[in-house]
Copies of this chain bind each other. A is one copy, B any other.
Amino acid sequence: MGPLAIGIHGGCGTLARDLLTEAEWAETNRHLGDSLRAAWKILTAGGSALDAVEAAVVVMENSPHFNAGYGAALTETSEHEHDASIMDGATLAAGAVCATRRIRNPIRAARAVMEKSDCVLLTSSAADDFAARAGLEIVENSYFTLERRVKALASLKARKARGTIALASEAEKHGTVGAVALDGRGNLAAATSTGGFNNKPVGRVGDSPIIGAGTYARNGVCAVSGTGQGEIFIRRVAAYDVAARMLYAGRSLEEATGDVIDILGKHMIGAGMVAVDAAGRVVVPFNTLGMARGWIADDGVVHVATHDDVHRLSAA
C-alpha cells in the first residue's frame, strides 16, 4: 500500500477571534479533528480516497461551525441554498449539485449524481428530487438555520443599508468546506461543499460545484479544493489551473498552488486551498488571516489549525 494522506479546509477569511467564544473555537478544532479521523479510518482500512473525502466533508456539513450543511449561510431571503461537488481522480468522474434546499448532506448528493446518473451537475429542486429518489436524507430548509447566522444576516443587511458593507468580516460573508485525499492504491479525490455566503442572491452559484474551479482531482497529479470568493475561482479556473501548471509547466504542488493563490491575492481576493499530490504531500496555502484546516500525512499525526498556531493532536 502506498502513502496515505487527507487534507481539509473549513473556509478562510479574517476569522476574527471574537467571532466565536473560546469554547466554540475549541469545538471548531475538535470538529476538524473529527473530520480528519473519519477519513483516516477509511484510508487506513484500505478504503478509497473518494469515500474518505466524502466522509470528511459530511462531518463538517454536520457541524455548526462551518458554512456548509447545518449552520450554513443564509441567502438574501433568509433561506439556504447549497452547492457541492466531488471528483474521482482515477476516472475523472465527477458529480455536483447546486442551489439545493432540502438535502441534509449535499456532498452525498454530488456523489450520487456521479454514480447514479448520466449527469455531472444537477440544479435546484431537480437536485433535491434526485437526492430523495437516491434515498438520501431530506430535511426542511429551516434545519440548516442557526441563530448566529440570522443575527449575522440582519447585521449585514443593516450595514449594507448604511453603506458600510466593506466593514463586514469576510468570515460573515464567505466560507466553504473541502477535502482532498490520497488512498493506498494511489487514487486521488477532492470534494467541496458550501452554503455560499450571507445575504447571497437567490440562485447565485459559486465555484464549489464547478469542476475545475472549486474542485479538481486527477491521479498522478493532484487533488484540489478551494475556498474564497467563488466568482474569481470560476474566472481563473483555479483548481484545474493548479493541475495544469503541474502537468504542463512542471511546477510542484507547492509552487502551483502558491502561483494561483498569489494571482488571486493580486486581485485583492481572499482565497485558500487544500491540495495533495500523488506522493501524498498536503499543502494548505491561504492569503487571509486565517483558514480552518487540517491534515494527516503518512505519519498519522493529526494537525488542525484556524490561525497561525497549528495544533498537533494525538495520532489518529
Contacts and interface: CB of A to CB of B under 8 A. Distances in A.
Contact of A124 (B87, B123, B245): B123
Interface string A106-137: 00000000000111111111110110000000
Size category of the binding interface on chain A: 35 or more
Contacts of A311: none
Interface stretch (A12-20, A138-146, A200-208, A285-293): A200-208
A94 interface: yes
B234 A203 contact: no
Given A213-B212, A249-B249, A123 B94 contact: no
A146 B255 CA distance: 53
A94 to B, nearest CB: 5
Interface in A78-103: 87, 92-94, 98-99
Contacts of A92: 235-236
Q: How many copies does the complex hold?
A: 2
A87 B237 CA distance: 12
A244 interface: yes
A216 B234 CA distance: 11
Contact of A240 (B124, B129, B130, B237): B237
Interface in A218-268: 230-231, 234-237, 240-241, 244-245, 247-249
A52 interface: no
A117 B98 CA distance: 19
Contact of A231 (B99, B119, B129, B210): B119
A103 to B, nearest CB: 13
A61 B123 CA distance: 23
A252 to B, nearest CB: 14
Contacts of A120: 205, 230-231, 234-235
A156 interface: no
A127 B99 CA distance: 12
A205 B118 CA distance: 11
A231 B121 CA distance: 8
Contacts of A212: 210, 212-213, 234, 237, 240
A211 B99 CA distance: 18
Given A124-B123, A126-B201, A244 B248 contact: yes
A252 B138 CA distance: 49
Interface of A: 87, 92-94, 98-99, 117-127, 129-130, 201-206, 210-213, 216, 230-231, 234-237, 240-241, 244-245, 247-249
Nearest 4 CB-CB pairings of A with B? A126-B203, A248-B248, A244-B244, A212-B237
11 contacts: A92-B236, A117-B201, A119-B201, A119-B204, A120-B205, A120-B231, A126-B202, A210-B210, A212-B234, A216-B237, A241-B244
